[in-house]
């Protein structure tokens, strides 16, 4: 598959009085054209920081301390002239090196972002039609009034809003409708990539689902890639092609949704999946992950998950495991259990499950 984005050794710190918070640590990630990638992990593991860093939306005290984010524009589409001098020998653009003016050409046309609060970012004194037309006009000037109007109607139609709402003001719409408008604006310039960070958390569950289905459907229709963050892991499994599991600023596993659902390799991924009730499949006893994530200012040595891991052994306490293929599939895992130097036979999912049950049992007895 064609790479759209390559994140290489990206690290982000938040400078604080009592030391730097290492929110993203040396993350490598590839996103393919048209792919829906879910980011999952407990609260505070760095998902939003990673997504914001990719879009160059971080503000102090956040600091990108190392790494590159290489974006590959569609060779069949015209690259915005402002970005042409940034193309490297492989036709990639390092987003981290763009000037403010270049970033303005890059955002919306190539990459759009929808936040949890996007619906509240609409201008309260402009009708939603004017706001959509504003974006179209700014980036595609000189097309004529009728063109912009027609395109605004089409965009609203895509997100399931009737054309007569063009003249409505944000306060006249429900939260769900406003979030749909924010999505229509994100889609307006047909970007190659959309980043959505908890885009529906402020809405009720039924509307959340409808809107997330809608987004994933539209992205597939237009072959738009999507990086998608939500706390609802079962929804993430359903809508994403691939999922990256983050723990304490690192990606600890990357797999297709199917692989992850059937055979999570990292004990943390297993614990996370098992902490969510599923509506389908056999009934399983839910066992949470013991303990809590580490302080990102003072990380444990070795694998950051080892103090909570029911399968940790000596090497886990001393050596940081790299993210590597764990077998014949493309499933990547950062865990010594899959390193033949340490273990001849990697654990089965049933063995990981058993180790969690045994740990829970030991704790119960204590």
Ligand X SMILES: Nc1ncnc2c1ncn2[C@@H]1O[C@H](COP(=O)(O)OP(=O)(O)OP(=O)(O)O)[C@@H](O)[C@H]1O
Interface with ligand X (CB under 6 A): 14, 16, 21, 23, 41, 43-49, 61, 296
- Report the residue number, 40 or 186, with the smaller CB distance to ligand X: 40
- Report the residue number, 23 or 177, with the smaller CB distance to ligand X: 23
- Report the residue number, 45 or 128, with the smaller CB distance to ligand X: 45
Cβ of residue 10: shortest distance to ligand X, in angstroms? 13
- Report the residue number, 21 or 237, with the smaller CB distance to ligand X: 21
Burial of 7 (0-12, 13-18, 19+ CB in 10 A): buried
Return the closest-CA partner of residue 35 out of 3, 72, 78, 68. Answer: 3
Return the closest-CA partner of residue 159 out of 182, 136, 131. Answer: 182
Looking at the DSSP bridge assignments, the partners of residue 31 are: 5
- Report the residue number, 60 or 340, with the smaller CB distance to ligand X: 60
Cβ of residue 47: shortest distance to ligand X, in angstroms? 4
Residue count (the chain):
366
Cβ of residue 148: shortest distance to ligand X, in angstroms? 36
Return the closest-CA partner of residue 45 out of 272, 314, 301. Answer: 272
- Report the residue number, 155 or 296, with the smaller CB distance to ligand X: 296
**How far apart (Å, rounded) are the C-alpha atoms in residues 291 and 313?**
17
Helix (H, G, I), strand (E, B) or coil at 3: strand
Cβ of residue 357: shortest distance to ligand X, in angstroms? 27
Cβ of residue 22: shortest distance to ligand X, in angstroms? 9
DSSP class of residue 60?
Answer: T
Q: Count CB neighbours of 356 within 10 A.
A: 22
Cβ of residue 356: shortest distance to ligand X, in angstroms? 22
Return the closest-CA partner of residue 249 out of 53, 19, 5, 17. Answer: 53
Strands (E), the chain: 3-14, 21-32, 36-40, 62-71, 93-94, 111-114, 193-197, 225-229, 242-247, 250-256, 324-325, 332-333
Cβ of residue 232: shortest distance to ligand X, in angstroms? 12
Cβ of residue 24: shortest distance to ligand X, in angstroms? 7
Cβ of residue 49: shortest distance to ligand X, in angstroms? 3
- Report the residue number, 18 or 76, with the smaller CB distance to ligand X: 18
Burial of 117 (0-12, 13-18, 19+ CB in 10 A): middle
The secondary structure of 229-269 as a DSSP string is E-S-HHHHHHH-SEEEEEETTEEEEEEEHHHHHH---SHHH
Tokens of 247: 């723990």
How far is the CA of 187 from the CAs of 28, 79, 88, 138, in angstroms? 27, 18, 27, 15
- Report the residue number, 69 or 166, with the smaller CB distance to ligand X: 69
- Report the residue number, 43 or 90, with the smaller CB distance to ligand X: 43
């Amino acid at each position: 598959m064609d790479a759209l984005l390559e994140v290489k050794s990206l690290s982000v710190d938040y400078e604080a009085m009592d030391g730097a918070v290492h929110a993203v640590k040396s993350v490598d990630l590839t996103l393919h054209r048209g792919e829906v990638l879910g980011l999952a992990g407990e609260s505070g593991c760095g998902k939003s920081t990673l997504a914001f860093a990719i879009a160059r939306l971080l503000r102090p005290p956040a600091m990108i301390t190392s790494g590159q984010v290489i974006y590959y524009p569609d060779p069949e589409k015209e690259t915005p002239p402002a970005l042409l001098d940034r193309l490297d020998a492989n036709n990639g653009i390092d987003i981290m090196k763009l000037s403010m003016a270049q970033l303005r050409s890059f955002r919306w046309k190539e990459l759009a972002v929808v936040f949890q609060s996007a619906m509240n970012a609409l201008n309260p004194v402009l009708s939603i039609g004017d706001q959509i037309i504003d974006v179209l006009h700014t980036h595609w000037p000189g097309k004529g009034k009728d063109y912009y109007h027609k395109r605004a109607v089409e965009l609203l139609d895509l997100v399931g809003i009737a054309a007569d709402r063009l003249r409505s003001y944000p306060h006249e719409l429900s939260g769900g409708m406003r979030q749909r408008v924010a999505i229509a604006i994100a889609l307006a310039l047909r970007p190659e990539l959309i980043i959505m960070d908890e885009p529906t958390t402020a809405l009720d569950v039924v509307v959340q689902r409808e809107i997330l289905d809608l987004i994933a459907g539209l992205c597939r229709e237009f072959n738009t890639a999507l990086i998608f963050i939500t706390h609802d892991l079962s929804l993430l499994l359903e809508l994403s092609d691939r999922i990256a599991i983050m723990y304490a600023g690192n990606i600890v596993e990357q797999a297709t949704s199917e692989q992850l659902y059937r055979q999570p390799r990292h004990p943390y991924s297993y614990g996370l999946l098992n902490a969510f009730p599923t509506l389908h499949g056999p009934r399983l006893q839910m066992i949470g992950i013991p303990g809590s994530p580490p302080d990102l200012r003072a990380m444990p040595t070795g694998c950051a998950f080892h103090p909570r891991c029911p399968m940790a052994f000596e090497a886990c306490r001393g050596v940081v495991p790299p993210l590597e293929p764990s077998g014949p599939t493309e499933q990547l895992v950062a865990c010594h259990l899959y390193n033949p130097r340490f273990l001849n036979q990697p654990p089965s999912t049933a063995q990981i499950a058993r180790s969690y049950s045994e740990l829970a049992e030991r704790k119960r007895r204590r």
